[in-house]
Every structure is written in C-alpha cells, then in structure tokens.
C-alpha cells in the first residue's frame, strides 16, 4: 500500500520535485490549498506525512491525525508547527536548515546597501523628473561602519563574511558564541545593550520562538544611534512593530529595511507604507530558482526518509 503525503498549502508554480521524490520512494503526493484549521485537519487526517508552507499545524490539527509520522516544513523556521504536540504523538518534525544561506545573506546586504545609498528613493526621484543628487544628502561612506548581528548562526556568519568585503566592522550578540569562535570568525562579541549602541546597521538573524517574540522593542530602539538602520530578514514578530513605527516617527532611528513583518501580507493602511525611510520586500530573501528547487527536494526527502524508516537529514525533535 502506498503511503500518502499531503501538501497543506504552497505558493510554488509546480510540485514536480516533491512528487518525484515521494513517488520514487513508493508514495503518492496529494496537494491542497488549506485556508483554515478545519481544512488542514480534514486534509491531514489520514496522511502518513505532511509538507507545509504557511499552514498552522496546531495541537488541534495534530490531535486529529490518525497515522502521521512526519511533518516537514518548507523552510528553516518551524514556528508554524506545534513541536511539543507532535513530539508527544511520536511525529518527527523536520525543516531545511541550509538551502538559502547565500540568498538571505545577499538579500540582507542588498537591503543594507539600498538603504545606505538610498537607491530606491533615488530611482523614484529620477523617474519623477528630479535629476539632482543633492536631495539625497547626506550619504555616508560604508568603510568603517558597524554592522550588528542579532544571533550568529549559519546565515549571520554568511552575512558577516560577505559584509567584510565592504569594510564593515562586525559585532554580534549570541549567548551561544564563544570568544574563541568569534575570533576565528573575525567578529567581535558584545553584550546586548552594546550591540544596539554600536551598530550603524542592525540585522536580525535569530529564529522565532517564545523567547525571541518581541525581542527587539522600545528599549532596544532607545539604545540605537539616530543614524542607525534596522534590517530584518528573519521573522517579523521578532521585532515589536508598533515600537518600530514609533521609533521611526520620532526619528529615534534613521530607517528600516524589512523583508518580513508581524502580519503578512502587509495591510493596505499600514503606516510604514507611507514612510520614505522604510524599505520593504515581500518575504523573498530566501528565494532563487536554485534555492527553491533545493528546498522542495530536501523537504520532500525528509518525509520520504522517515516514512521509509530512515533517519531524516534535518530533524527538529527527537521521537
């Protein structure tokens, strides 16, 4: 009997990479576009494995699963899956930790450079008929500026290596980073408050969980330089968005460059849409043609491996 793998939701043009992996392992792939918890429950009830992009795999969903052995998320983060409930039911939770390191690092630096050189604003000014560099003043030299990294995992390390090419000095706060490791990586480990005080550009690189939700808020913005820019390519809710808007309105910081928001997509009346000092992209930092195919293939392979009695390459929990 073939095992059944359900895709709860997806934004991709094709599921062919997943289908090839699952069918080669002896299973069948069934795709849905679930919008509600009830739809997710119904789709997943008799599934042996789950592939999910944005659907919330809550404790209620997991409770109704009759034979599921593995839930694999498309992506690095897995905050949409109730890992505790899955573990209690003996279900493996998987992610893909290494598929887009270069893409997210490149996008982080693209946001940094665009903000520093006011690229988006200059483009709009020229298209509006204003061929005059003076309106963009002041713009400062990047050489010697400080890039602060919240967290120093795989993506942050990749950002640090690429950022050094521009002459940026790198400081980071990560409670798991040893002094020896920081020296080897060519970065300076600092305390939490010092990170915000020193950074000209502050970039978020931690996962979203109960400890990091709202991690960057009003107190942190009060520590920052008025000339500093916040960059977030991690998860929106790590930053207290209301506090960020207030900091921008009050000129407590100079700007923000965000690929992620607390609620996505952004609402039509969001105040940041009217702020020239805010640069926004639609949660695309992870994407390239190559990274998308790699993600889809590896996520499906996680499911296939578990359902074939093998150890998956990327496992969040132990069951």
Q: Given this structure, which CATH class describes domain 101-280? A: alpha beta
Please give the C-alpha separations between residue 135 and each of 130, 141, 275, in angstroms, as whole numbers: 9, 17, 16
Judged by phi (left if over 0) then psi (alpha if -120 to 50, else beta), residue 302 lies in: alpha
Neighbours of 38 (CB within 10 A): 12
Closest CA to 147 of 203, 220, 219: 203
Q: Which residues of the chain have pLDDT under 70?
A: none
Active-site residues, by number, are: 235, 264, 283
Q: What's the sign of the alpha-carbon dihedral 253, 254, 258, 261?
A: positive
The Cα 201–Cα 229 span in angstroms is: 5
**pLDDT digit string, tens, across residues 56-79:** 999 999 999 999 999 999 999 999
How large is the angle between the packed helices 101-117 and 154-163, nearest 10 degrees? 50
Closest CA to 177 of 150, 204, 201, 159: 150
Residue bearing tokens 């390390």: 157
**pLDDT digit string, tens, across residues 23-38:** 999 999 999 999 999 9
Residues present in the chain in total: 319
According to the model, what pLDDT value does residue 133 have? Answer: 95
**CATH pick for 3-99+289-307 out of 3.40.1130.10, 3.40.50.720, 1.20.120.430, 3.30.365.10:** 3.40.50.720
Closest CA to 316 of 82, 144, 59: 82
CA 302 to chain centre: 20
The Cα 216–Cα 198 span in angstroms is: 15
Comma-separated ranges of CATH 3.40.50.720 domains in the chain: 3-99+289-307, 101-280
According to the model, what pLDDT value does residue 66 have? Answer: 98
Q: Are strands 3-7 and 70-73 parallel, antiparallel or unpaired?
A: unpaired
Closest CA to 255 of 101, 65, 99, 112: 112
Tokens of 42: 């119904």
């Amino acid at each position: 009997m073939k095992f059944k793998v359900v895709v709860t939701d997806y934004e991709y043009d094709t599921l062919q990479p997943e289908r090839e992996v699952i069918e080669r392992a002896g299973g069948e792939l069934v795709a849905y576009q679930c919008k509600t918890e009830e739809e997710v429950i119904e789709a997943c009830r008799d599934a042996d494995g789950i592939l999910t992009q944005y659907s919330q795999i809550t404790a209620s969903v997991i409770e109704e699963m009759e034979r599921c052995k593995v839930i694999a998320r498309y992506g690095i983060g897995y905050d949409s899956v109730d890992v505790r409930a899955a573990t209690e039911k003996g279900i493996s939770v998987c992610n893909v930790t290494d598929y887009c390191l270069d893409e997210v690092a490149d996008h982080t630096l693209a946001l940094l450079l665009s903000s520093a050189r006011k690229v988006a604003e200059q483009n709009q000014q020229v298209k509006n008929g204003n061929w005059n560099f003076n309106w963009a003043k002041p713009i400062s030299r990047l050489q010697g500026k400080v890039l602060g990294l919240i967290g120093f995992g795989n993506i942050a390390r990749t950002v640090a290596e690429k950022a050094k090419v521009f002459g940026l000095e790198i400081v980071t706060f990560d409670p798991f980073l040893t002094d020896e490791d920081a020296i080897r990586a060519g970065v300076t480990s600092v305390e939490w408050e010092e990170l915000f005080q020193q950074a000209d550009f502050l970039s978020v690189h931690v996962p979203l969980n109960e400890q990091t939700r709202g991690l960057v808020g009003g107190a942190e913005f009060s520590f920052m330089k008025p000339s500093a820019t916040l960059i977030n390519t991690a998860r929106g809710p790590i930053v207290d968005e209301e506090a960020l808007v207030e900091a921008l309105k009050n000129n407590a910081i100079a700007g923000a460059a965000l690929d992620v928001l607390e609620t996505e997509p952004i609402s039509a009346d969001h105040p940041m849409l009217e702020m020239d000092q805010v640069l926004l992209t639609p949660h695309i930092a992870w994407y390239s043609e190559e990274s998308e195919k790699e993600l889809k293939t590896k996520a499906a392979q996680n499911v296939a491996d578990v359902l074939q009695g093998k150890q998956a390459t990327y496992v969040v929990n132990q069951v």
